[in-house]
Amino acid sequence: MRAVIQRVRRGGVTVEGKELARIGQGLVVLLGIGPEDTEETAQAMTYKISRMRIFEDDQGKMNLSVLDVGGEVIVVSQFTLYANTKKGHRPSFILSAPPEMASPLVDRFVELMREEDVPTQTGEFGAHMLVDIENDGPVTIWLEM
């Protein structure tokens, strides 16, 4: 499982002109699922992201998590995080999990975030999405489990 975690002032997801998600302060998590990923991987990723201290405290130090600041999360399925670019100029995506495996794991990740008491919204699996991100910092973290 791979994630690009962006600390945001605001974020949103639109599909075919319809807004599916909108948050204020929080995280936009671009989430890729690999063929070896399991429920345990989703649990570990959820635990790590919900507690990652990347928000500033009153001293200006990154010392607070999304839980600490009462932030929200948008999860966007992102199979392109498994792009293989070693040959040629056209990425290959054979390293990403097939949709029938990836979709339920993305859904489970979202459920787990909600179980951690993190308000979590999503895009639409497999859809062409417009993702609005106002990156705060900028703070962008790559995480792989």
Task: List, for residues 21-37, the tens digit of each pLDDT value.
Answer: 999 999 999 999 999 99
User: Is 78 a residue of the active site?
Assistant: yes
- The residues, any chain, with a CB within 8 Å of residue 121's CB and separated by 6 or more, are 13, 20, 21, 22, 23, 72, 73, 74, 75
3-state secondary structure of 48: helix
Determine which helix (DSSP H) or strand (DSSP E) holds 129, and give its type and residue range: none
Q: Alpha-carbon Rg of the chain, whole angstroms?
A: 15
Catalytic residue among 6, 46, 55, 78: 78
Catalytic residue among 6, 46, 55, 79: 79
Q: Tell me which architecture the domain covering 2-139 has in CATH.
A: 3-Layer(bba) Sandwich (3.50)
- The residues, any chain, with a CB within 8 Å of residue 124's CB and separated by 6 or more, are 13, 15, 20
Tell me the percentage of the chain whose pLDDT exceeds 70: 100
| pLDDT (mean) for 46-60 | 97
Residues making up the chain, counted from first to last:
145
Tell me the percentage of the chain whose pLDDT exceeds 90: 99
Encode burial over 109-140: b for 16+ CB neighbours within 10 A, e otherwise.
bbebbeebebebbbbbeeeebebbbeebeeee
User: Is 59 a residue of the active site?
Assistant: no
User: Is 80 a residue of the active site?
Assistant: yes
Start-to-end CA span in the chain (Å): 5
